[in-house]
């Protein structure tokens, strides 16, 4: 590790009320390329969560009373600090999460951009005009911070997701308690260190710990007013159930099983190059990854061959090497889960067209995998694999393709490839997903909302809609003399 990352950039304590706090119980953090221990971080207790939540509660009055401009200044300064620390953050993300060093810098820049976006967006919140709606009264609408936001982030995009959640919460005037995944906390702790040099004590609190202890207590605590989770659908259901005990607001960005519909007139080479990245970016560990490729029958053979040719050229290996395009899966339990999905599909009669195996004896590298001859109701089609695995299905026509696409419990991202604008627009209406891309898959921007339908959750990330998630609407009615 020393040749790639200086150990002194690793922060491995919790941040509570502006102070760095250790604990007796520890969690080992593993490098996914070689399974070596990088460091250990605290396993936060119920008491730790309550201390952090109380610190956030005590800081919430003054933070919420700042003007939007003043809060924006803090976020902009943090954005500048993130950009100034891009080398350290990139190396931490690579060694902890397995993101290729060749691309992770772009994720850090995107995080910095989101901080700046929400700094500005927090200054533009609007409501209905004041007016007289009953004789002798004037009504006004106030949009106020909810209070303390409990934020739980996943292991697939640790830094980017942390920033995506904390930025709108802070911009709206909330204080936060943030719990990163126990597998990948290192960039979030580094971010906390940068933030602690800027923000007032108690505004930003960061705890590492297990979901069934620290995460559960965040959802349960009466000092947490809104809980926001990015994670698996089953975890989201558990969090919502626990949060219902205090009727706190719940915001969930959950799993996905994104279809990509390829129609007869789509160019196979263009499709293959797009899906090479849309399906295998971050080793497919992306809730919006194009995992189900649905092709109308006239184009099926051409698309299959183009995909096999393009995907077989992906450079898979050590993420610290600049030429690597796809790194390892992030942790051992997940690797075994992906491996089981592929093995079970083959036992059920599916055909492995490409890949399907572990690479090397150490670490969690898995071959980019293409699977055909799958049944619509099969596990590999219906459930989230979250790895470098795609299935390819044949559809009879455009409407059959849309029917297959909608026939899952998820509704996060989707795409359609065609040169016919009318068909594309009709598909965008029929597809039951929070985002529909046309002739691409996976492009995002801070200005536009991200969120799902069905069991992909509720609430929006990014955009002005995200800030609104972290506010309460209050009616003030004034009796006139």
Q: Which two tokens stand for residue 370?
A: 């293409």
197 is catalytic: no
Q: Which long-range contacts (CB under 8 A, 24 or more apart) does 460-463 make?
A: 461/164, 461/165, 461/230, 461/253, 462/114, 462/164, 463/121
Check 107, 253, 353, 469 and give the catalytic one: 253
Nearest Cα neighbor of 390 from 316, 287, 291, 262 is 291
Write the DSSP symbol of residue 213. Answer: I
Residue written as token pair 């003043």:
70
CB of 388 closer than 8 Å to CB of 368: yes
35: left (phi over 0), alpha (psi -120 to 50) or beta: left
Where helices occur in 357-440 by DSSP H, the ranges are 379-382, 398-406, 421-430
253 is catalytic: yes
Check 287, 325, 353, 461 and give the catalytic one: 287
Q: What gap in Å lies between CA 138 and CA 129, rounded to an integer?
A: 11
Q: What gap in Å lies between CA 424 and CA 429, rounded to an integer?
A: 9
Q: What gap in Å lies between CA 365 and CA 332, rounded to an integer?
A: 10
Write the DSSP symbol of residue 434. Answer: S
Q: What gap in Å lies between CA 150 and CA 217, rounded to an integer?
A: 10
Q: What gap in Å lies between CA 407 and CA 102, rounded to an integer?
A: 36
CB of 60 closer than 8 Å to CB of 175: yes
Q: What gap in Å lies between CA 196 and CA 180, rounded to an integer?
A: 17
Which residues are known to be catalytic? 253, 287
């Amino acid at each position: 590790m020393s040749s790639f990352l200086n150990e002194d950039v690793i922060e491995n304590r919790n941040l509570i009320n502006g102070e760095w706090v250790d604990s007796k119980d520890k969690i080992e953090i593993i490098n996914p390329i070689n399974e070596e221990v990088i460091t250990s971080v605290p396993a936060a207790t119920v008491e730790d969560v309550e201390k952090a939540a109380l610190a956030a509660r005590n800081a919430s009055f003054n933070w919420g009373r700042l003007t939007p401009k003043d809060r924006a200044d803090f976020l902009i300064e943090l954005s500048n600090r993130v950009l100034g620390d891009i080398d350290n953050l990139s190396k931490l993300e690579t060694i902890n999460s397995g993101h290729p060093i060749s691309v992770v810098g772009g994720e850090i820049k995107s995080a910095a951009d989101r901080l700046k976006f929400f700094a500005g967006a927090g200054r533009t919140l609007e409501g209905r005009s004041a007016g007289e709606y009953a004789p002798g009264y004037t009504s006004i609408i106030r949009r106020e911070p909810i209070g303390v936001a409990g934020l739980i982030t996943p292991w697939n995009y640790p830094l980017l997701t942390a920033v995506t959640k904390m930025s709108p919460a802070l911009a709206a005037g909330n204080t936060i308690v943030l719990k990163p995944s126990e597998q990948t906390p290192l960039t979030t702790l580094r971010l906390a260190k940068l933030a602690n040099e800027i923000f007032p004590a108690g505004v930003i609190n960061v705890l590492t710990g297990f979901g069934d202890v620290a995460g559960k207590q965040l959802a349960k605590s009466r000092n947490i007013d809104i809980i926001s989770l990015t994670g698996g659908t089953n975890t989201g259901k558990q969090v919502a159930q626990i949060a219902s005990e205090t009727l706190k607001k719940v915001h969930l960005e959950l799993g996905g099983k994104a279809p990509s519909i390829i129609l007869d007139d789509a160019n196979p080479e263009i499709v293959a190059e797009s899906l090479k990245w849309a399906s295998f970016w971050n080793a497919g560990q992306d809730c919006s990854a194009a995992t189900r490729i649905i092709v109308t029958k006239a184009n099926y053979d051409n698309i299959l061959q183009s995909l096999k040719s393009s995907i077989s050229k992906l450079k898979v290996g050590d993420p610290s090497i600049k030429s690597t395009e796809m790194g390892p899966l992030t942790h051992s339990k997940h690797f075994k889960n992906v491996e089981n999905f592929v093995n079970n599909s083959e036992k059920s009669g599916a055909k492995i067209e490409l890949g399907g195996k572990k690479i090397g004896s150490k670490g969690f590298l898995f071959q980019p995998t293409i699977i055909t001859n799958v049944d619509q109701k099969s596990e590999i089609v219906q459930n989230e694999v979250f790895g470098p695995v795609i299935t390819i299905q044949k559809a009879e026509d455009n409407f059959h393709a849309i029917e297959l696409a909608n026939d899952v419990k998820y509704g996060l991202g989707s795409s359609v490839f065609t040169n016919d604008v009318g068909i594309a627009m009709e598909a965008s209406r029929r597809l039951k997903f929070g985002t529909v891309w046309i002739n691409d898959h996976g492009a995002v921007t801070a200005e536009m909302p991200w969120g799902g339908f069905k069991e992909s959750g509720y609430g929006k990330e990014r955009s002005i809609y995200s800030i609104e998630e972290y506010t309460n609407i209050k009616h003030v009615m004034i009796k006139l003399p």
